[in-house]
């Protein structure tokens, strides 16, 4: 595991480390394009079958390229992985964040590497006030504006339509309506996105590549923290004074929507407070179904 050396005073030049030097120069400067199996070059894979790229799928050559990159980047640091992603996909790269500890590190590094990267939050209408307050804290600390992506219906309209909260009896439907549908819409035109998942969090996440083709959303998915541990994440946050959701100090290691998140007791798994008592463990963004 690489040691952490990137503090707030380090220039972005420092992220150009040996692993990046192994990457072909033309690859690093290539525009955000996804060659399709039909032979066309799509700059906008999009989602939901709305683009030629998704209908025909990425080309075998492109899939081989990202598989090779993923293998090379297994030994890279998260900021090297982010640097590669920015170099490879440029403005086609976007980040979704729920302001979790890992997500705050991604914002922290991108503020140095590529502060113009588009970062958004899926604002379901059910998030904790402490979570929403992170929008201002990120703006103040990094000068980065987080886009809030919302469903078409407000919480009031949604609950009126369904006769009350949907999360209480059909959380999968609620996550689909409040997270997945807005996400699909937001990802149209996006070529690559980053997730803040770690492999040691859940069985689904355990098989996440560093770089892979996200079939669910039809774009490249990069997981720069896949190899990291919770302790390394928190060491870096504290060492580099990264802002974090205060709920983490109140017994919430993983923070989702308020109605579906509870405190975790001593000895419990860090994600056991999410949809506690239900079989559900993922909102659907990072599951392999
Ligand atoms: S986490 Fe809960 S409240 Fe949030 S979208 Fe999913 S089911 Fe709805």
- Cα 225 to chain centroid distance, Å, stands at 10
In a domain, 156, yes or no: yes
Residue 170 belongs to a domain with what CATH number?
A: 3.40.50.620
174 C-beta closer than 6 A to ligand 1: yes
Q: Distance between CA 261 and CA 259 in Å, rounded?
A: 6
In a domain, 6, yes or no: no
In a domain, 48, yes or no: yes
pLDDT of 265 reads 73
Q: Distance between CA 94 and CA 116 in Å, rounded?
A: 10
In a domain, 275, yes or no: no
Q: Are 155 and 125 in contact (CB under 8 A)?
A: yes
Stretch 261-265: mean pLDDT, rounded?
79
pLDDT at 221 over 70: yes
* Best probe residue, ligand 1, of 153, 179, 262 (max atoms within 8 Å of C-beta): 179
Confidence class for position 47, pLDDT limits 50, 70, 90: very low
- The more confident residue out of 283 and 201 is 201
Count of domains in the chain?
1
167 C-beta closer than 6 A to ligand 1: yes
| Atom 8 of ligand 1, nearest CA residue | 174
In a domain, 8, yes or no: no
Q: Are 53 and 218 in contact (CB under 8 A)?
A: yes
In a domain, 50, yes or no: yes
pLDDT of 262 reads 78
Stretch 244-267: mean pLDDT, rounded?
86
283 is catalytic: yes
In a domain, 235, yes or no: yes
pLDDT of 8 reads 34
Segment 188-200, tens digit of pLDDT: 999 999 999 999 8
The percentage of the chain sitting over the pLDDT mark of 90, rounded to a whole number, equals 64
128 C-beta closer than 6 A to ligand 1: no
| Residue 288: burial class (beta carbons within 10 Å; 0-12, 13-18, 19+) | exposed
Q: Are 190 and 184 in contact (CB under 8 A)?
A: no
175 C-beta closer than 6 A to ligand 1: yes
Q: What is the CA radius of gyration of the chain?
A: 19
Say which residues have a Cβ less than 8 Å from residue 194's Cβ, sequence separation at least 6.
82, 85, 93, 95, 96, 106, 221, 222, 223, 224
In a domain, 96, yes or no: yes
Residue with tokens 């996105």: 193
pLDDT of 286 reads 59
* Structural domain range at position 119: 32-260
**Residue 177 alpha carbon, nearest atom of ligand 1:** 5
Segment 96-105, tens digit of pLDDT: 999 999 999 9
- The more confident residue out of 38 and 67 is 67
Lowest mean pLDDT among 12-21, 173-182, 273-282: 12-21
Stretch 108-126: mean pLDDT, rounded?
97
pLDDT at 253 over 50: yes
Q: Distance between CA 18 and CA 126 in Å, rounded?
A: 43
Segment 156-184, tens digit of pLDDT: 999 999 999 999 989 999 999 999 999 99
Segment 50-70, tens digit of pLDDT: 333 445 689 999 999 999 999
259 C-beta closer than 6 A to ligand 1: yes
Tell me the CA–centroid distance for residue 286 and ligand 1, in Å.
Answer: 15
Tell me the CA–centroid distance for residue 48 and ligand 1, in Å.
Answer: 22
Stretch 72-85: mean pLDDT, rounded?
97
Confidence class for position 281, pLDDT limits 50, 70, 90: low
Q: Say if strands 93-96 and 118-122 run parallel, antiparallel, or are unpaired.
A: parallel
Closest to 82 in 3D by CA, of 226, 234, 233: 226
Q: Distance between CA 289 and CA 5 in Å, rounded?
A: 37
**Residue 258 alpha carbon, nearest atom of ligand 1:** 3
């Amino acid at each position: 595991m690489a040691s952490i050396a990137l503090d707030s005073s380090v220039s972005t030049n420092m992220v150009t480390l040996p692993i990046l030097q192994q990457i072909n120069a033309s690859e690093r400067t290539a525009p955000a394009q996804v060659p399709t199996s039909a032979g066309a070059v799509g700059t906008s894979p999009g989602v939901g079958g709305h683009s030629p790229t998704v209908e025909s799928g990425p080309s075998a050559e492109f899939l081989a390229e990202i598989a090779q990159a993923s293998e090379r980047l297994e030994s890279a640091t998260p900021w090297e992985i982010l640097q590669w992603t920015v170099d490879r996909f440029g403005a086609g790269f976007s980040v979704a964040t729920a302001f979790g500890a890992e997500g705050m590190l991604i914002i922290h590094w991108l503020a140095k590497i590529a502060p113009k990267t588009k970062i958004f939050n899926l604002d379901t209408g059910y998030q904790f006030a402490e979570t929403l307050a992170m929008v201002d804290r990120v703006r103040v600390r990094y000068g980065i504006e987080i886009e809030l992506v919302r469903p078409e219906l407000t919480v009031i309209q949604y609950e009126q339509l369904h006769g009350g909260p949907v999360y209480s009896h059909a959380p999968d439907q609620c996550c689909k309506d409040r997270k997945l549908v807005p996400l699909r819409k937001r990802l149209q035109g996006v070529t690559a996105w980053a997730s803040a998942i770690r492999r040691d969090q859940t069985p689904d996440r355990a098989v996440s590549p560093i770089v892979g083709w996200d079939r669910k959303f039809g774009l490249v998915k990069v997981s720069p923290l896949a190899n990291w541990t919770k302790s390394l994440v928190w060491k870096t946050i504290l060492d580099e004074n990264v802002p974090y959701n205060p709920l983490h100090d109140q017994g919430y290691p993983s923070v989702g929507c308020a109605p579906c998140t509870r405190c975790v007791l001593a000895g419990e798994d860090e994600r056991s407070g999410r949809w506690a008592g239900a079989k559900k463990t993922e909102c659907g963004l990072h599951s392999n179904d």
